[in-house]
Structure 1
Amino acid sequence: MKFEDYRIAPEIKQNLERLGFKRPTDIQYKSITPILRGEDVLAIAQTGTGKTAAFAIPVLNLIHESKKSSRSEAIRCIVMVPTRELAIQITEVFQKIGQGTRVKTFSLFGGVEQDPQINKLEKGIDILVATPGRVFDLVSQGHLKLNQVEVLILDEADHMLDLGFIKDIQDLIRFLPRKRQTLFFSATINETIKKLAYSLVRNAIRIQISPNDKVARNISHAVAYIEMDDKRFFLERLVNEHPDSKILVFVRTKVRAERVKAAMERVGIASETLHGDKEQSNRLDVLSQFRKGAIKLLIATDVSARGIDIPDVDYVINYDLPEEPENYVHRVGRTGRGVQKGNAISFCSTEEKPVLAEIETFLNKPIQVIEIDKQVYTATIDFSQDTSTMDLKALLKEAEAFEEVKRKKAKQKK
């Protein structure tokens, strides 16, 4: 089936063709028709499978058609997302697919002045893509009315629960009409997510796109055993050997991100960081530059880059292994998106081997090991342009922070 075969507005079909969308992905094929019929949908699908378009296409069509007979300026659809970057990204998808239609989409998130957002809302919005905190703030202040919402969409629901947004979501439901269409999209499913989903949807169509391999087939992934203090030398080598490649590096903390950037600067490699301490305008600018290829090396933490669609990422480097095995899948899913090929390489130190074992258990298979000859290992360090050594106090401080995180994690499990 092709997009031209669907009963959707010609403006949307033209936009899809212009954007290079010819045939729907599995999640799109299984979601679009039920959503067009007005049914609730509970969808579980890997990152990079086209979830956003799966709900954007039918919702845009529904609102566009309804506006032919109604001039209401009330918000008709609200899309709840975990991060501001994701809110902006999804808004762009709605705007591109909905170009030339009667539908107006706006993104709402915290970290910026609310007055310009309030002014925009007062002019009339059809689809609101927002983070829970700012929505709840404006609803509480009386600036945002949700009593005419017809469609509620929760995207990246698992990540919203990870960030502790479940209470905000439950509080917001009180302001929405009981009679509405609810679309629930998540990359993973567990009992907590399932409980939340079934408290929101009614007689939902359940869709699950879950291949046996939790990592997409077009991603080649491997692990190299590299000690913690030596990782910067191997990242330097990889970047120098692939000067034209777009490389996304994941680290454990904000401090680590800045430290790795500084290490790259010492050897003449330009990079940028993406984490929660960055100003919103800076984060958006960095993402824009990386998307366009003006920056080839981006160093990020999990929270800041989860769910972000960045085209043509050639390599994802797990500079630090993720503490949660599921985050490995989310990280490597930043490459090999759609039909593109991707590469994911993990740097594993001796102390991280138990974490690697957890990841392999989660994946139900071992990760291929890149064997590094001792001479090659030594030469990589010896031929590095970085002659500095890390401050001992800084190393001890970082080790203490890492141990504290592990203690908290162990306590939570108990």
Structure 2
Amino acid sequence: MKFEQYNISPEIKKSLAELGFKRPTDIQFKAIPSILKGDDVMAIAQTGTGKTAAFAIPLLHRLQQQDRRYYKGKYEVKCLVMVPTRELAIQIAEVFQQIAQYTELSILALVGGVDQGPQIKILEQGVDVLVATPGRMFDQINQQHLDLSNVQTLVLDEADHMLDLGFIRDIRDVIKHIPRSHQTLFFSATLDKDIKDLAYSVVNNPIRIQISPQDPVSKNVSHAVAYVEMDDKRFFLERLVREFPDNKILVFVRTKVRAERVFNAMQRIGVKTLTMHGGKEQDDRLSIMDEFKKGEVKVLITTDVNARGIDIPNVDYVVNYDLPDVPENYVHRVGRTGRGVQKGQAVSFCSTEEKPILAEIQKFLGKEITEMKIAKDDYRETISFSEDVPNDNWQLLLDEHNKEMGMLKKKKKKKK
């Protein structure tokens, strides 16, 4: 079934056609009809399967059908989408805006880290769709710049991550501000007991949708693990970047300190990269994301701030420079590539001390990750020929010296 056959408005169909949306993905095919009917939906789907459009398309259509004459009051919101991070809020708002471009519907991303003045001006007129992070949202409620008393639909996106970040109280609090009778859409990439408990506490007889539960990672992503010692990882990252200079590469590290160290290592050898982590100001984070999305810089080094839900076009490689502490985060990281119908590669560098973490990840996936075997000579050459080694000739001479010393020791043993 094609989107042009759906019972949605001509304006939305027009924007979908221009955006290249021809046929729905599995999650869209299963979720859209139920959302159009006003059902509560609990959807568990892999990252990168088109979850945002799965709820944006039907919600925008339903909003469009309402009578505009007595539709919005001051500071009023009709659809509230709660998300865990600023970047995700901005991205989801952009998807809504693109799909609603030929309608009169208003969409606002309400996030912290930026001047609240422009946001308040938009809220004052009332908005159709508000995509918000909990902190800024409750701040505006307390300042009486936000009225949730007429919310018709509540969307909780990346619900598992919201739970991880301790937003459970915020979720329960927001329900107190909206009408008892409302539609709830609950989207998550993973499912465990805590997520189930949260879901069934906020939804009413939901339509449950689960896509590919046996394999939490998209089939479009090829996986490999390379056993590389911690101090040698920068050399192998350099090699990957130099071998694929035209590819867009997203590199995940464990901490913001590590991100800056890897950035400095790449800078020393003339590889242009960007860094993204929680220590960056919001305006800087937005400009960095924009630069990487446009492909002006091909390598982005980031913490898990970019592992959840962020849609970065045409990422060819995800590199787990450091393995994630939480196995579920592996799924979210590698989900930044192989999105939609595109193919992607995920490469993990695993040091000796990280092998227990790798075992946990493989247990979570229910399968082993293919090992990228590196011959000893190839391993040594990767380090020897790196531009991060001060003097390549000196390194090669040192290697030859070590070989000669080894041969001399063998000869002395034979003489004895």
TM-score normalised to structure 1 length? 0.92
Instruction: State the distance in 1 between where 2:101 and 2:56 align.
Output: 12
- What does the per-residue CA deviation read over 1:42-62, in whole Å, with 9 as the maximum and x for residues that have no partner? 111010010000000000000
**1:326 alignment counterpart:** 328
Alignment of structure 1 residues 106-185 onto 2, 5 Å: 106-185=108-187
Q: Which has the larger radius of gyration?
A: 2
| Displacement after TM superposition at 1:137 (Å) | 1.3
Residue identity opposite 1:307 in structure 2: G
Instruction: Give the conservation status (yes or no) of the 8 Å contact 1:12–1:98.
Output: yes
**1:19 alignment counterpart:** 19
Tell me, what secondary structure is at the counterpart of 2:16? helix
Instruction: State the distance in 1 between where 2:120 and 2:196 align.
Output: 34
Residue 351 of structure 1 pairs with residue 349 of structure 2: no
Instruction: State the distance in 2 between where 1:223 and 1:122 align.
Output: 52
**1:410 alignment counterpart:** none
Residue identity opposite 1:336 in structure 2: G
| Displacement after TM superposition at 1:387 (Å) | 2.8
Alignment of structure 1 residues 234-313 onto 2, 5 Å: 234-313=236-315
Residue identity opposite 1:154 in structure 2: L
| Displacement after TM superposition at 1:106 (Å) | 0.3
Tell me, what secondary structure is at the counterpart of 1:369? coil
Q: Structure 1 residues 161-170 or 146-155, which shifts more?
A: 161-170
| Displacement after TM superposition at 1:306 (Å) | 1.8
Residue identity opposite 1:155 in structure 2: D
Instruction: State the distance in 2 between where 1:369 and 1:123 align.
Output: 56
Percent same amino acid among aligned pairs?
Answer: 66
Instruction: State the distance in 2 between where 1:378 and 1:387 align.
Output: 12
Residue identity opposite 2:195 in structure 1: I
**1:32 alignment counterpart:** 32
Instruction: Give the conservation status (yes or no) of the 8 Å contact 1:276–1:304.
Output: no
1:89 to 63, 71, 91: 91
| Displacement after TM superposition at 1:211 (Å) | 4.2
**1:56 alignment counterpart:** 56
**2:402 alignment counterpart:** none
Instruction: State the distance in 1 between where 2:70 and 2:43 align.
Output: 30
Instruction: State the distance in 2 between where 1:68 and 1:171 align.
Output: 29
**1:376 alignment counterpart:** 378
**1:43 alignment counterpart:** 43
**2:107 alignment counterpart:** 105
| Displacement after TM superposition at 1:124 (Å) | 2.2
- What does the per-residue CA deviation read over 1:83-115, in whole Å, with 9 as the maximum and x for residues that have no partner? 010000000100100111121000001112223
**1:411 alignment counterpart:** none
| Displacement after TM superposition at 1:345 (Å) | 0.3
| Displacement after TM superposition at 1:361 (Å) | 0.8
- What does the per-residue CA deviation read over 1:280-328, in whole Å, with 9 as the maximum and x for residues that have no partner? 1111111111111001000010124421000100000000000011111
Residue identity opposite 2:13 in structure 1: K
Instruction: State the distance in 1 between where 2:390 and 2:87 align.
Output: 35
Instruction: State the distance in 1 between where 2:338 and 2:291 align.
Output: 20
Instruction: Give the conservation status (yes or no) of the 8 Å contact 2:307–2:329.
Output: no
Residue identity opposite 1:172 in structure 2: V
Instruction: State the distance in 2 between where 1:382 and 1:375 align.
Output: 10
Instruction: Give the conservation status (yes or no) of the 8 Å contact 2:27–2:45.
Output: yes
Instruction: Give the conservation status (yes or no) of the 8 Å contact 2:84–2:133.
Output: yes
Instruction: State the distance in 2 between where 1:360 and 1:289 align.
Output: 34
| Displacement after TM superposition at 1:169 (Å) | 1.3
Residue identity opposite 1:75 in structure 2: V
Instruction: Give the conservation status (yes or no) of the 8 Å contact 1:158–1:193.
Output: yes
Instruction: State the distance in 1 between where 2:234 and 2:380 align.
Output: 13
| Displacement after TM superposition at 1:237 (Å) | 0.6
Instruction: State the distance in 2 between where 1:362 and 1:372 align.
Output: 25
- What does the per-residue CA deviation read over 1:109-140, in whole Å, with 9 as the maximum and x for residues that have no partner? 11122232212211221110000111111112
Q: Structure 1 residues 160-169 or 262-271, which shifts more?
A: 160-169
Instruction: State the distance in 2 between where 1:294 and 1:67 align.
Output: 44
Q: Using a 3 Å threshold, how does the CA distance of structure 1 residues 276 and 67 change in structure 2: closer, same or farther?
A: farther
Instruction: Provide the alpha-carbon RMSD of the alignment.
Output: 1.2
**1:8 alignment counterpart:** 8
| Displacement after TM superposition at 1:213 (Å) | 2.4
Aligned length: 389
**1:336 alignment counterpart:** 338
In structure 2, runs of 5+ residues without a counterpart are 392-416
Q: Using a 3 Å threshold, how does the CA distance of structure 1 residues 63 and 160 change in structure 2: closer, same or farther?
A: same
Tell me, what secondary structure is at the counterpart of 1:215? coil
Tell me, what secondary structure is at the counterpart of 1:30? helix
| Displacement after TM superposition at 1:143 (Å) | 1.4
**2:225 alignment counterpart:** 223
- What does the per-residue CA deviation read over 1:205-261, in whole Å, with 9 as the maximum and x for residues that have no partner? 111112422221111110000000000000001100000000000000000000000
Instruction: Give the conservation status (yes or no) of the 8 Å contact 1:274–1:305.
Output: no
Instruction: Give the conservation status (yes or no) of the 8 Å contact 1:67–1:102.
Output: no
| Displacement after TM superposition at 1:201 (Å) | 0.8
| Displacement after TM superposition at 1:376 (Å) | 0.8
TM-score normalised to structure 2 length? 0.92
Instruction: State the distance in 1 between where 2:370 and 2:181 align.
Output: 50
Instruction: State the distance in 2 between where 1:288 and 1:87 align.
Output: 15
Residue identity opposite 1:30 in structure 2: K
Tell me, what secondary structure is at the counterpart of 1:174? helix
